[in-house]
Structure formats: C-alpha cells, structure tokens
Structure 1
C-alpha cells in the first residue's frame, strides 16, 4: 500500500518542465495577458448575469455578491500569480500540483480544469451563435431550425454558427500566439468601450428609488432557492463566481510569457481588477435603471434596459460589439485548453502525440482535439444543465493551488527559482483562498456536485487505465530502480 501511495505522489522535477517547454516561443507581454484575462473573464456574462442574479436572488445587493466573489477570486489569484512567476510552465495548475504534491493530484487538478475549458468553449460558441442569429433576424436573415439548434432541440441537428466560429478561432490560433494576441487586444478594447458606453448612457436613466431596499427581506423562491438577506447574497456568489474564473486561462500560457516573473502577476491580478470594476459598475447601473424584478427571465437585461430607456440604437451597437467581443473569450479558452492538453501529452498522461509541437513550435495536435470536442459539445449536444460543472471543477483546482503555496515557499530559491512576486500576508492569505473556494463550492447546487463527481470518475478511469502506465515520470522512476 505504501508503494502504491508513493507512486501516486511521485513529483516531477521542475527543471524537466523548463526543458520540455523551452521550445514554446516567449512572445506574450503584460498587455497581451491583460487583454487575454479581461477578454476571458468579461465575456457574455457581464451583459446578462447582473440582471439575472438580481432578479433571482439578491435585488440591488447583487453588488455585494459580486464583491464577495471577487474577494475569493482575488485571494486565489494571488496564489496563481506566485505560482506562475515561480514556475512558468504550460498547463498551469496541472503542472504546478505535479511538482508540489505529485502526479495523481496534478492529474486531478488538471482534469478539473479541462472540464472548464471544454464546456466554457461550447457555451461561448453557442452563446455567440444565439446572439448573432438574434442580430440577423431584424435584417430578415433567418436560419432553419436544423442548423440553428443543437441535436434534439427544437428540430435541430447542429448549430452551424457555433461550428464555424470555433473552427475559425482554432484556425487563427494554429498560425501562432502572436497574431491571435493582436486580434485579442483589438477586440477587448472594443468590448470594454461597449461596456463603458452602457455605463455612461445608463447613468442618465437611473432612478434612486430602485436601490431601496438595497438588501430585500429574505424569503424562498417558488423553486426553493433563496432570495434576499445574506442567504440570497450567498446564492448569488455561487452563480457569479463562474464569471471570475477566467484568470486561470492566463496562467496556462505562462510558458509563452516574456519575463514571466513580472508579466504573470501583473497580467493575472491586473485583469481581475479591471474585470471586477466593470462587473460592479454594470450591476449598479442596471439595478438603478429599473426595478430588479423587471429582469426576471430576461435573457438580455442590458439591451432591454437601454431600449426601455429610449436608446434602441445604442442597444443594437452594444449587442453587436458584444457578439464580436465573444471571440475574445473563445481565444482565451482555446489557448489555455490546448496548452493543458499539450501538457497531458507532454507527460504521457494522454497519448504522446498530443504533446508534440509542429515545425513552428505550436501544440496544434492538442488544439485540434480541443476544437473537435468543443464543436461536438457546442454544436450537437444540449449542455445548459452542465453550467455549474465549470465552477465545480475550477474551484477544486483553486483549492489545490492555494494549498500549494505552502510547499512552494519551502522550495523557492532551491530547486525552484525565487519569484519576484509573492503572496502577501503569508501564511494567512493562502488559507483564506482555500477556505473561500471551499465555501463557494459548498454553495453550488447538488446537481453540479453530482456532475462533477461523474466527470472525476471518468478522469480516474483514464488515469488508472492509461496515465499511470504511460507517464514519463513513472517510467523514469522505474529506470532509477
């Protein structure tokens, strides 16, 4: 039994990862990572989530839910920043936990993140498709049900727009990170300008009475969920946290960062700070324009509020830019997801060809697999019931990374470089990051936890059937004996 546990906790030598990832070109700057982070975190949810959460759980106190979720995400982001500065390897949490706690725990953390990338990619592709078709409808362009909906949904066979969009982003990334980063930078600026335009125009239509009572009295909704009071705010945190988890996609690309010791902390913490500010501002303006109950079952609260306030042209322009801006989230998720799958192949946890680089030193085999799975999920399979699985998987990875700071500190300046950035108020903040993630995870609904359990069961089968027998770490250990 002790030998079996030793096998599961075999730790990778960080110098091995440095050597394996040395062929990846270090071309990304702070500006690129800020765009990547903001583009991934500030996705479609900023135009929908503030209204949805206010109507379902919080009323005007949705702002508190955003702030609490941001504090938890910020605590974890500090840990991510130190990890990425000390170990700028592809695969982020998977590679770090492999070095800190051992192969099995690294696989669990990586497998958790993979759920986020697969499903988030499908979500954004499908969401972009729905919004694009909504924009085309007033122009008289209507898609037949067969190519507008997912399989078995309203006569659908596949979502053609989602297929084309995911394939287009994959094609862009297959030609290099630098070119994709330039596209990302432009689109993020457009998206932020659209959000600022909403805030400025919305401020002219605010009615102070809509902010009272700021924290409505607690009661249960008809579906048994909480509304009002601290219970409603807590329920809102679990829904909102999904919006902030995109900063881990920055860390997955740290092997391609220029001067990662400075670039990674600035990119991770800076993008989260920008995103949190925008989310809180949009939430405050939205609940101030109309009573929160107006946003019940409203799929596009920002556009609806602008039209009701007499700004239909601004609403259309913002919705159009929002659709274009969704490409930024796709670029971020596909970059991060492909680097994670590359890391699995690099270490022999999945077939080796996934860890191969092409003649331009790009992991295009991993990108191809990610794209195919994303297309299948986003174009063919109804998947809305899996929404919280993204949060569940990522929160587990967040807990590992927060705890990983403790063994990391003991090794910094020894076999791991001493990074320029370190988590402040050590050892308290990493513990708070772990506890905060655990509390948010506890607040997810039972279905999310069950689906997460099913996903991990699949991961365990793959690990024990394939990964543990083919891993390069395991083979290296046998040779030493």
Structure 2
C-alpha cells in the first residue's frame, strides 16, 4: 500500500452540479418546491409519531413533550445549516458532498459511510414498523398472518416478509420515475396528515390533564436503566430524534429540483416547521387521552389509544391509513440512499457502472442494490436496535454539515449563498453541541456498534476506496 500521503486524505473536491454531469450520469429535473416539502413531510412524519411516541413516553413519561421540543430544536438548527449548504452546493449527495467540498476526502468518506448506515437503517426501521401496522390491520379484519413470517429471528420468527415486500414495492416505484414517485408521495402525505387530524379530533374529547402527573417520573437528564436503555427527557429525546430527521433527504434531491437555489431552502425549512407543530399536537393529545403506562410499550400506540377509549373502528382506520401512508418515509429515504450511493459511485468509491442513469432519468442499478441491502436488514433485525443505530449515523452527518457552514463562512466568505443561516455562529455550534450531547445519550452498545461500523468503513477506505477515488488532485 506504500506510505500514505496525509495531504491526500484532506483533498477537497470541485463539485459538479447536475447540469455539468456527463449525460449518462445526469438526473432529470422534475421537482418543484411543493414536491420537496411533501418529500420532507413524507420522510419526517412517519414511524416516529406512529410508533416511537410510545417508546419515548415509556422513557420520559408525559415529559415526552419536552423530548419532542429538544429533539425538534436541535433538528431545526441542523435544518438551517442544511438549507445553506444545499442551496450553495446544489448537487446530490447531501452531507457527503458538502463534506467533500469543504472538509476533505477522509471526512467525506466517514460521513458517507455514516449516511449509508442512517438511510439503510431508517428504511429498515420503517419497513418493520409498517409490517407491524399491516399485520395488526389484517388481524383486525380477521385475517391472521403467520408469526414466523412477520418477525425476524431475534423475535422468534424466520423473516419479516411484509417488511421485505414493501421495500420491493417502493423500489419499483422509484425505478419507474422521480416525477411519478413524487405524485404518489404527495397523495399519501395528504392521507397521512388527514389520519393524524382524525386521531386528534377523536381523542381530544377524552383529554384528562391528570394524565400529565407526575410530569417527569424519570427526570430531565439521561439515566441508564436495565439493558442499557436511557431514560429521562434527554434519553427519550435521543431516540425521538429519529422522528424528526428526514429533511436531509430533501438535500439529496438537489440535482432533480427545478430551481434548487430557491426550492431546496423552502423544502427543508418548511417541512421541518410543519412537522414540529404536527408532532407536538399529536403527542399532547395522546398523553392527555390515556396514561403513558398503558401505551408506552405498544408497537402501534395511536391505534391502542383509540381502542382504549372505545373507538375500535377509528383505530382500524388509523392502522389502515398508517399501513398505506408509512411508505412515504420509505420512498424518501430509499430515494436519498440511492442518490448518495450514486454520488459515491461517480466519485469512484463504488463501482462506476452503478452510476448509470436509465432512459427514465433514474439510477436503476443503484436503487436495486440499495433495496436488496435494506431488505436483508429489515427482514432479520429487531426495531429498537435499528432505530438507535440509525440515529448515530444521522448525528454525525448533522455535525458535519454544521461544521461545513462554519468552515465555509470563514474560508469562502465571498461565496454565493442563496440561503444564509440566520445567526450562523450561534445556530451551527448549537447544532453541533446538541447532536454531540444526543450521541452521548444513546445506549452504550449503540455507540460501540457505531464505532465498529466506522472502523470497518475506514478499513474499506484505505484498502479499496481511496485508491479508486478520482475526485481530488492526482498525487
């Protein structure tokens, strides 16, 4: 392997925007800002509010509301940083691309490797969550689904077949075309919002303020309980954080946005604001309608709350709507993952043949590869471990993007910035420190697993990818 040229590890890359790419690597520009906002809302409002509200309430009690506020505030700071970098560098690849342009190749690789973890595990988590709702819905109709085919080996089954099936369906839709995917996504997002509004309307009359006492039974910090689970407001925020991200998937659409300098900022910031309001309203109504102890450990907490207040019919409707609408999250993240893989293939870190674009303007080969990888994870791994490990990858990406804003402001102060992060020297450090604190609030085994994942990644980089990367200056 010879001596490593240290300078080459920090070489930066001149980023080509979509229109500068060779034709066989060029994506079709088909997305306006309404489609991007819908992509963001579709990604953010999903398994987090439909399934993880129970996990968060179990760990923080009624103070789960504060957990939502904390996680939302940190994500809002990160979202503002993403909006600046996405409009400044309107190219696919999200945090990986920004890191390559600003921080250097080794940082880009670590971020890209972390994003592979984030997106793959998010898709897997949502697919497992969707499977739970779908099987519950079928059971409500009197159609039992075999337990062995509805759970992975860790839960006593063979494979989670519904999870694998829904990934295949969404991957097929993405290969059909981005414009077509965006239209279906828009319809499903509207359905999802209507479903949550129905839950609020039906559960609100059962609101009882007494359910908010004691407000923070496990404290406001982060304390480790049995099995390494972190309790308290910050412990719950670290897992609920999973319910807020998704806006970063919008930044992977930069090369397919019609007017990236305007549309990306509207999509990222707009979807984040809308989802924060939705989450706080739904979480407050959920806690008010039923004591936390009764729904905290449920895989389908909203449906359970409705059944508990005598609204079994509405619960079935919510479960059905969740089963229909949750794939919007799959679509957004599978889309984002395939675009990140695409850019890494263009850069030579993955086989370049995978970067070929089909006649419909979509990266079919990379989409199939992504779908196969996440299907294996979704079919075999349990939900809670997947979710917290996905959070670790995202936190690293968010820290990197905030750092890119600070470094870029200092080094390239005259660069064109269609969107400027307000109070950047307060917002970006707040994103970095907030994400770092949430990382320390993750379970110890999650942190160790993440370190192992990146050790594997650096091994792959030095043994395979580094010699093939061709973006920097020749050594």
Asked if Structure 1 and Structure 2 have the same fold, meaning a TM-score greater than 0.5 normalized by the shorter chain, the answer is yes
- The alignment partner of 1:246 has SS state of coil
Single out whichever of 43-52 and 419-428 deviates more from structure 2: 43-52
Provide the C-alpha distance between the structure 2 equivalents of 1:171 and 1:104, rounded to a whole number of angstroms: 34
User: 2:306·2:312 contact (CA, 8 Å) conserved in 1?
Assistant: yes
Find out whether 1:46 has 2:43 as its counterpart.
no
Query: Which residue number in structure 2 is paired with residue 7 of structure 1?
Result: 8
1:79-478, aligned counterparts within 5 Å?
79-151=81-153, 153-156=155-158, 158-216=159-217, 218=219, 223=226, 232-382=232-382, 384-410=384-410, 418-474=416-472, 476-478=473-475
Give the gaps of 5 or more residues in structure 1.
none
Kept in 2, the 8 Å contact 1:40–1:330? The answer is yes
Moved more, 360-369 or 382-391: 382-391
Give the CA deviation at 1:130.
Answer: 2.2
1:340-388 C-alpha deviation (Å, 9 max, x unpaired)? 0001100001111122222333211111110110111112445642331
Listed one character per residue, the Cα deviations across residues 281-334 of structure 1 (whole Å, up to 9, x for unaligned) are: 111111111222222422222112112212111111111101111110010011
Deviations 1:172-202 (A, max 9, x none): 1101100000000000000011001111211
> Quick one: structure 1 residues 216 and 161, their matched pair in 2 at CA, closer, same or farther if it must change by over 3 Å?
closer
* CA–CA separation in structure 2 for the residues paired with 1:332 and 1:433: 23
Change (3 A) 1:35 1:14: same
The offset of 1:430, in angstroms, is 1.1
Distance 1:283 1:129, change over 3 A: same
How big is the shift at 1:61? Answer: 1.6
Rounded Cα–Cα distance in structure 1 between residues aligned with 2:392 and 2:383: 15
The CA RMSD over aligned residues, in Å, is: 2.3
Q: 1:77 aligns with which of 58, 76, 79?
A: 79
Q: Distance in 1 between matches of 2:74 and 2:393?
A: 16
Comparing 145-154 with 355-364, greater Cα deviation is found at 145-154
Further displaced range: 89-98 or 292-301: 292-301
Residue 245 of structure 2 aligns to a residue in which SS? helix
Q: Is the contact made by 1:412 and 1:419 (CA closer than 8 Å) also made in structure 2?
A: no
* CA apart distance, 1:208: 1.9
Residues 218 and 233 in structure 2, CA contact (< 8 A), matched pair in contact too: no
Q: Secondary structure at the match of 1:461?
A: helix
- Provide the rounded CA distance (Å) in 1 between the counterparts of 2:104 and 2:339: 20
Matched residues in 2 for 1:205 and 1:373: separation? 44
In the TM superposition, what is the alpha-carbon distance from 1:335 to its structure 2 partner? 0.6
CA distance in 2, matches of 1:365, 1:175: 12
Q: How far apart are residue 250 of structure 1 and its match?
A: 1.0
CA positional deviation for 1:445? 1.2
Change (3 A) 1:218 1:410: closer
Tell me how far 1:104 sits from its aligned partner: 1.2
Deviation, 1:410, is: 4.7
Correspondence for 1:64: 66
Q: Deviations over 1:246-265 (max 9, x none)?
A: 11111111111111111111
Q: Is the 8 A contact 1:402 1:434 kept in 2?
A: yes
The whole-number CA distance in structure 2 between the counterparts of 1:309 and 1:372 is 41
Where 2:350 maps in the other structure, the secondary structure is: coil
Label 1:21 to 1:104 Cα distance change in 2 as closer, same or farther (>3 A). Answer: farther
1:54-73, Cα deviation, whole Å (9 max, x unpaired): 2322x222111110111100
Displacement of 1:2: 10
Distance 1:428 1:130 in 2: 41
* 141-150 or 387-396, larger mean C-alpha shift: 141-150
Moved more, 216-225 or 261-270: 216-225
Q: Count matched residues.
A: 470
Q: Deviations over 1:375-407 (max 9, x none)?
A: 111124456423311011110111111010123
SS at match of 2:326: helix
- Provide closer, same or farther for how the CA distance between residues 152 and 387 of structure 1 changes in structure 2, counting only shifts above 3 A: closer
The question of whether the paired residues in 1 share the 8 Å contact of 2:59 and 2:233 is answered with no
Instruction: Verify the 8 A CA contact 1:377 1:383 in the aligned structure 2.
Output: no
CA distance in 1, matches of 2:209, 2:22: 55
